[in-house]
Amino acid sequence: MKKISIIHYSLLFLLLLIVSSCREEGADLRPGLYVDTELVDAFPGKEVTISGQASCYTGFESVSIVCDAWKISQVDELKTQKPVVWNFSYSFTVPQDAEFPQELLITATDVHGTQMKKSISVRYAPATTPPYIDGLKKQIAVDFDEESGSGECQLKATLYGEDMLKSAVVEIPSVSYSETFVLSKREEEIVIQCKFDAKGTYPMTITVTDNSENTTVSEHKLIVMKPEQTDEIKDYPYMWVFTAGADESQYLYGFYQYLNRQDSYQYEVFVYAPSDETAFFFTPTRETNGERLFGESPYVEDRIISMQSEPGYVKGYKPGKGYWGLWIDIKEKSIRKWSMDRSDARSAQLYIATAEGLLTPSSFFTPMEKKGETIYQNTLEFTLTPAMSGQWFTFTENGGEWDVNEWRPWFADGDVAGWYFKEKKDGNDSGTMPTVTTDTDVTMRFDAAIKWCWIIKK
């Protein structure tokens, strides 16, 4: 037998070492696979999302999710990218005829064909969120025709459900009206048509049920009444709101708070109601008793109308005690409210930035006295002291100007002849109040939550 020398052994070892080093490092390591859940509760029609992350040393060829029973097959082809980390998210709708339980298979395959698999179990669990009804107010006006002796309504309501909706039952017992709508989608619209032979208030109940047997019962009142002869309206560039019962003669400024026009016939404002009985009116003419005074219908809640043919017909709108955002649509005769977040205003410190020599006190950035969580107050004396043109004062928060409103002097022969207030909307000057032409002591009250100033005579 021929002996192998130590040199041959050395050459063989070196050859094995070279072959081993040529093989890609980490090629024999399996990919890592993380999924955010391994158990899913679902029902037919539910939207399901499975997310996770796959990682490997050599790069991926593909990552996929498969469920043959539900005909789900989604594949991320990654041959050209070959990422070493891949974040995936697969969404699908559980079929209406789905059988439970099922398994979803996630497979991560690297460029060498090495695979890592995870199985996700899907079990049946009914929806828990009840259906939702949109489009109907709690009180609904129905016009009654005196000549025909009847009133007809056609109402539309949109229904929503987490699970597929099954049915909606509408009942108006006093006129023996009962109708069942068969539903099959998550979002459905129903049309309710009914005729009344007499004026009055008619309770209506809508019961909506989904496939998981979740039920929502919504109660409404149909108010069949003589039509309210509302005034003709137009798309006003501005509207104002004022507090019912307040004495306008005591205000130099702030009695009328302007609404921002958001869209055609639609306006928004933020107000403070110190009590549940605080009521508001709306006007495009900036007059408490002028034309086009808008208020709430005395018969239908949250119905905003103008009815000058019958003075005193409309009543003030009462949102309740607190800070509110109000949105009115004068074309649709509607108003809605939402509670304001006042967290930022609670921590503010308000200052009056004044110009030297124009008024007393004259120090720059005078802190206002805090009178409540968000309300600041100061007493000032407006004087007609001779001064240079172009000086004024503004309201500031921690030294930074609030682009809301400011007082400016006007001049005659180089002297201050009076004061006027300039409102700012979206950074643009608009409207002025009547000038103050005599020395006047006033109380200035500023609410940091709604950024509005009331200037009241002492």
For residue range 276-308, list pLDDT tens digits in order. 999 999 999 888 876 678 999 988 889 999 988
Closest listed residue to residue 244, CA positions, set 278, 202, 219, 210: 278
DSSP label of 246: -
CA torsion angle 76 82 85 88 (round to 10): -10
Run of H or E residues at 68: none
- Cβ partners under 8 Å of residue 106, min gap 6: 33, 35, 50, 52, 63, 64, 65, 117, 118, 119, 120
d(CA 420, CA 433): 6
Where does the pLDDT of residue 390 fall: very low under 50, low under 70, confident under 90, or very high at 90 and above? very low
Domains 32-124 and 132-225 share a fold: yes
Closest listed residue to residue 399, CA positions, set 361, 343, 349: 349
The domain segmentation of the chain, as residue ranges, is: 32-124, 132-225, 239-339, 343-457
- What is the per-residue pLDDT for 20? 46
Handedness of CA 244, 247, 248, 253 (dihedral sign): negative
For the ranges 13-22, 118-127, 232-241, which has the lowest average pLDDT?
Answer: 13-22
3-class DSSP state of 455: strand
d(CA 423, CA 429): 6
d(CA 168, CA 175): 19
Cβ contact 27:74 at 8 Å: no
DSSP string, 9-47: HHHHHHHHHHHHHHSPTTTTSPPEEEES-SEEEE-TT-E
Reading the block at residue 440, the tokens are 């006047």
Task: Could you please state the CATH topology (level 3) that the domain comprising 239-339 is classified under.
Answer: Immunoglobulin-like (2.60.40)
d(CA 142, CA 134): 19
Say whether pLDDT at 445 is over 80.
yes
Task: Could you please state the CATH topology (level 3) that the domain comprising 343-457 is classified under.
Answer: Immunoglobulin-like (2.60.40)
Average pLDDT over residues 18-29: 48
Q: What is the pLDDT of residues 139-184, one digit of tens each?
A: 999 999 988 999 999 999 999 999 999 999 999 999 999 999 999 9
Q: Which long-range contacts (CB under 8 A, 24 or more apart) does 115-118 make?
A: 115/30, 115/31, 116/30, 116/31, 116/32, 116/33, 116/54, 117/33, 118/33, 118/35, 118/38, 118/52
Say whether pLDDT at 202 is over 70.
yes
Reading the block at residue 47, the tokens are 């939207």
| One CATH from 2.40.50.140, 2.60.40.650, 3.40.50.1000, 2.120.10.30 for 132-225 | 2.60.40.650
Run of H or E residues at 76: strand 72-77
Q: What is the distance in angstroms between the CA of the first residue and the CA of the last residue of the chain?
A: 125
Cβ contact 326:241 at 8 Å: yes
Task: Could you please state the CATH topology (level 3) that the domain comprising 32-124 is classified under.
Answer: Immunoglobulin-like (2.60.40)
**Rounded to an integer, what is the distance from CA 412 to the centroid of its chain?**
49
Full-model pTM: 0.63
